[in-house]
Structure 1
């Protein structure tokens, strides 16, 4: 097991794997500017390396623009300066999760609004296949934003050529452990999944129907028709039945079913669960959050809080 995996396992709450890895990579780049520049040049993101200053920051916050509903927090921001000109790169990293609602579009708009910047670049780098079509938006903005989509296995291959120090080697181990080095080649586990996919799907469908669905209706007032869908599986790593608990659909809702369907390694397993979710903009959010906090205080071994706090508008 890698040093970074051991350190991550010491975290008592929900393991912030993406934030943890973001800090590691950003720190590595700050110590190895040459590797950062060669990686960017390898993917034709920059054309030269004549920068006199490189500044790297993480979890940088930006106040929302007029058209946005909330503030933004950027994984990695890279500022490259030649002394005369400054190029800015936003890097959004994903391991197991997927893009938030119009997250990349928001980042592109923030980039376009930055003053005194020559080149504006947005990089979306993921472990899993997650195609995005925002190039048109980026080029339509004034000033324009150049968008690049990369995979972590590409970074892994590039870093292997520079794995001369212990930090680089530990990063490579962490990437392998978290399934981020995998290319488009099928393993024996993948072939087993192909063979058993329909059988497994039918089993999941049947266990969420009939008795379970009837009990869910009694508890929460109904089930949305066709709720258990593969869309939930693809984008949110879950296969659930659900219903809305407010008149404005997604402001407050409940789901029941299978979670963690795309674990990062073969030792992790899916689990059965139920969740309640309230949107950030719902007017009744403070009251619902207060009730949720009481439930969690009463049953901390059953319920897990996620972002359970009331923020300013």
Structure 2
């Protein structure tokens, strides 16, 4: 196991994998500016390397523009200066999630509004495929223009392998392999087995969550929404479950039963069967529900696992 994986596992509750990896990469590139420049030149993002100053920052906050509903926090910001001109690069990094809230348009607009900048570049780099064909170059046709580039982490992995001479680079490569960020578009024997057995496996999962199990779930919780498990849950939340709402305001309090951890980050992890109860942060009954959940966990600590069961200020 890599050093970075061990450090991430020390974090309690939901592990902030994307933010954690962002900090690692930004720190490495700040120590190895030549790797950053070579990577950007390789993808024709930069045409020259005549910079006297390179500044890299993470989680940089920007006040919302008039057309925005909230402030923005940028994963990585790179400012490059040759003494006369400054170029700005925003890097939005995704490991497991995707750009679900159209944040890229906000970032492009912020870039376009930056003063005293020569070249404005927005990079969207992901582990998984996430088509952004709708984003034109110049991005969103803003003036001043913003150039948009979409990359994958496996491309950076291949580039970093050429510079893996120090221990920090080697640890990053191990972490990327561990989290499926080195995977290319080449099919493996495991992938082919998955293709052949996909329908059979899906049918087994459907049948085990129907009939008797579904009837018992209805008796315990009052119903099953839509009557069947959803493949949307599989795609976005790595689970295949039946579920029902336990409050009149739908997702404020609900219960799910089925298969979890369906897309593990490494081949040694396996899916598991489980049931969970979820209460949203804004639900007015949250403190009472959390108190009850904590009692259940104290009574059956070998069965239930607490996740973020804290009553926090608004």
Output the TM-score relative to the length of structure 1.
0.85
- Report which stretch shifted further, 123-132 or 93-102: 93-102
Q: Distance in 2 between matches of 1:143 and 1:225?
A: 48
Matches within 5 A, 1:272-283: 272-276=274-278, 278=280
Contact 2:108–2:146 (CA under 8 A) maintained in structure 1: yes
Matches within 5 A, 1:133-212: 133-136=133-136, 138-212=139-213
- For the structure 1 residues 176 and 247, does the alpha-carbon distance in structure 2 shift closer, same or farther, using more than 3 Å as the test? same
Show the counterpart of 2:37.
Answer: 37
Q: Distance in 1 between matches of 2:156 and 2:279?
A: 35
Following TM superposition, by how much is the alpha carbon of 1:20 offset from its aligned partner in structure 2, in angstroms?
A: 1.8
- For the structure 1 residues 148 and 309, does the alpha-carbon distance in structure 2 shift closer, same or farther, using more than 3 Å as the test? farther
Q: Distance in 2 between matches of 1:251 and 1:286?
A: 6
Structure 2 residue 286 is the aligned partner of structure 1 residue 289: yes
* Pairwise CA RMSD: 2.8
Contact 1:289–1:308 (CA under 8 A) maintained in structure 2: no
Structure label with greater radius of gyration: 2
Q: Distance in 2 between matches of 1:115 and 1:45?
A: 21
Contact 1:29–1:36 (CA under 8 A) maintained in structure 2: yes
- For the structure 1 residues 163 and 142, does the alpha-carbon distance in structure 2 shift closer, same or farther, using more than 3 Å as the test? same
Contact 1:96–1:262 (CA under 8 A) maintained in structure 2: no
Q: Distance in 2 between matches of 1:311 and 1:63?
A: 23
Contact 2:224–2:244 (CA under 8 A) maintained in structure 1: yes
Q: Distance in 2 between matches of 1:265 and 1:104?
A: 29
Q: Distance in 2 between matches of 1:248 and 1:89?
A: 42
Output the TM-score relative to the length of structure 2.
0.85
* Consecutive unaligned residues in structure 2, runs of 5 or more: none
Q: Distance in 2 between matches of 1:188 and 1:195?
A: 11
Q: Distance in 2 between matches of 1:233 and 1:103?
A: 23
Q: How big is each residue's C-alpha offset from its partner over 1:31-68, in whole Å with a ceiling of 9 and x where there is no partner?
A: 01111011011111122212221111112233344444
Show the counterpart of 2:226.
Answer: 225
Q: Distance in 2 between matches of 1:211 and 1:106?
A: 48
- For the structure 1 residues 172 and 228, does the alpha-carbon distance in structure 2 shift closer, same or farther, using more than 3 Å as the test? same
Matches within 5 A, 1:114-125: 114-125=114-125
* Consecutive unaligned residues in structure 1, runs of 5 or more: none
- Report which stretch shifted further, 301-310 or 285-294: 301-310
Matches within 5 A, 1:55-94: 55-94=55-94
Contact 1:92–1:125 (CA under 8 A) maintained in structure 2: yes
Q: Distance in 2 between matches of 1:80 and 1:86?
A: 6
- For the structure 1 residues 262 and 115, does the alpha-carbon distance in structure 2 shift closer, same or farther, using more than 3 Å as the test? same
* Matched residue count: 307
